[in-house]
Amino acid sequence: MPWDEVMSKFKAGKLHSSSKKGPKVSNKKQALAIMLSEKEKAEGGKKEYQPKKKGKRPSAKDQAAFLKGK
């Protein structure tokens, strides 16, 4: 579902969490999560918003060697 459709259903109180029998969505973040989940299913498992991978911080010894080389 596109953004406009999800938000219009959410504002009208017609967006449900799992199915039409499930509880109504009461939070905007829940509506966004539903939109992303449905988009992921439609695209065959492609994740659009993945968390950024954090790199390993260099040790103090590595930093000193790097600064010394400059």
Q: 39: which residues sit within 8 A by CB, 6+ positions away? A: 1, 48
First to last CA, the chain: 52
Quote the strand ranges of 1-43, DSSP E. Answer: none
> What was the pLDDT predicted at 66?
82
Q: Give the bridge partners for 24, in sequence order.
A: 16
Q: How far apart are CA 9 and CA 70, in angstroms?
A: 58
Count the Cβ atoms, other than its own, within 10 Å of residue 1: 16
Sequence spans of domains, the chain: 1-70
Whether 67 has a pLDDT exceeding 70, the answer reads yes
Whether 11 has a pLDDT exceeding 70, the answer reads yes
> What was the pLDDT predicted at 12?
93
pTM for this predicted structure: 0.55
pLDDT per residue as tens digits for the range 12-60:
999 988 778 889 999 999 998 888 888 877 777 666 666 666 777 778 8
Q: Please give the single-letter amino acid code of residue 1.
A: M
